Amino acid sequence: MRITPVNFNIFNPTCPKKNNHNDYSQYGVLGISSLKADTVCFKGKTAQDIVILKKLLAYQIPDMYTGKIMIDPQEVRHILQAKIFSLPLKSLIKVMNKYEASLFPVEKEIYLMIKQDAKKFPNMRLEDVLHRRIPDAMADLRQKQAPIFEKLTQMAQNLPPELLKEFNELMAVTNSRLYDKDIIIPFSAKEFRYKLDRFMPEIKSRGIHSEIKVMKKLLNMSKSIPENHAAVSENYIPDKTRQIAGKLRQMTKVIMQSPLAENKELNKLMMSTKSRLYNIPVVEPFSRKVFIHELQKILAKQKNLKLTREMEKIAVKLPTAKEEVSAFIMKSALNSSEKIGYDLISESIGTAEHILPALHGGEDILNNLALATAFANNERAHRRMSTQLQKHPESYENCQKYIDRLIELSNNGTFTKLGLSKWYIKNFADKMYKMSPPDKPMKLDLDKLF
């Protein structure tokens, strides 16, 4: 699901009644009769709403889906600004211990490795911890990937000859990526923009305006880079290639004259992109997402839809960094300590969650928003709430934890201090009741709310 800033609006009990824009009759259940969604006004100023969100997440709010205590984005910002992740392990652990219970399984296992190494090597850095584990992680990951690639290769024999040739070329490139061999990879403006855009979440989390401004400028400059250009040969460089190279030089100059000049990952992207533009062999690590994308491009050209579905189903079984420790290590080991640290906690950061997904008409208004970790928010994607609860029945218990904590904050005066009303809690309960499965409605206990 799209993650956007939550709009926590100050309730105005005296506002006129309005019609509810969302029709929940399709769910076949009734709401809590004591509170109608169309009796509360949710208007408010966006800037004020964002401030309220930041303050609310400072009060140990459980994720409505997993029950994990969400990490406050404001705390993450301070950590990144202070470059805590670049400290020696002995100092880093003192800060990170606070967030251990909030980490998801893979990130938590990585963190336990870090704690173990901190006892033996207190002055080691975070990037060193992962780098020394590359050999074992690579062996483990390759062992888990091998049967999947073998199965795909077997199934690919049913492709038309011209597509089988493309598949074999993809596997040759994949093997080079898996074992860190130099390969020539064609330049892609679309892929470059995608990789550039992935820097933005971490940079925004740091909250340094000058860095955000530079990233926006770089992304805007990248829009003018054409997708296609003629092949570069030993004696010939096409004009369009020269134009792209000129744009990349301009972007590099912007970076070098900015606060991002020492950003290891950004500089690495610019160097590898220039090499790809001129057909210079480079070492490109394997990317599960890129492999699946390239495979889907091949499969889209053939008519056997059953074969396409079966091969895609096999491909998505490739281990991800969210599922396997070895995949996380191989993905992050060559990054800076700052990037590794951010990757460890980013899935646990509190985000705004649309109860009714935006794709299905859900609005960015308070009575359609709650709080969930980035991990749970992304995992849900665009599923309707009834489907989400069927897939994750543990959410019934965790939504109660979410409500219980909000009730505590309302009853002890925190809501009043933040400019929130207890009506948000009642509305959330009403909304979840309406949108849960008809055969198993979510009945949240509000008895302690006064």
Domain ranges of the chain: 25-70+354-435, 74-133+333-346
Q: What is the pLDDT of residues 246-283, one digit of tens each?
A: 999 999 999 999 999 999 999 999 999 999 898 888 88
Q: Cα–Cα–Cα angle for 445, 6, 55, nearest 5°?
A: 80
What's the CA gap between 29 and 436, in Å, rounded?
Answer: 9
Q: Cα–Cα–Cα angle for 385, 390, 393, nearest 5°?
A: 100
HSE (side-chain half, CA atoms, 13 Å) at 14: 0
Q: What is the pLDDT along the chain (450 residues), one digit of tens a residue?
A: 433 333 333 333 333 333 333 332 222 222 223 333 333 333 444 446 556 766 789 999 999 999 999 999 989 999 999 999 999 999 999 999 999 999 999 999 999 999 999 999 999 999 999 999 999 999 999 999 999 999 999 999 999 999 999 999 999 999 999 988 888 888 889 999 999 999 999 999 988 999 999 999 999 999 999 876 666 666 667 888 888 999 999 999 999 999 999 999 999 999 999 998 988 888 888 999 999 999 999 999 999 999 999 999 999 999 999 999 999 999 998 899 999 999 999 999 999 888 999 888 888 777 888 999 999 999 999 999 999 999 999 999 999 999 999 999 999 999 999 888 899 899 999 999 999 999 999 999 999 999
404-428 burial string, b = 16+ CB within 10 Å, else e?
bebbebbeeebbeebbbbbbbbbbb
User: In the numeric block, which tokens belong to residue 136?
Assistant: 């074992």
| CA torsion through residues 331, 334, 338, 344, sign | positive
User: In the numeric block, which tokens belong to residue 395?
Assistant: 């959410």
What's the CA gap between 305 and 276, in Å, rounded?
Answer: 33
- Give the global pTM: 0.80
Q: What is the pLDDT of residues 303-345, one digit of tens each?
A: 999 999 999 999 999 999 999 999 999 999 889 999 999 999 9
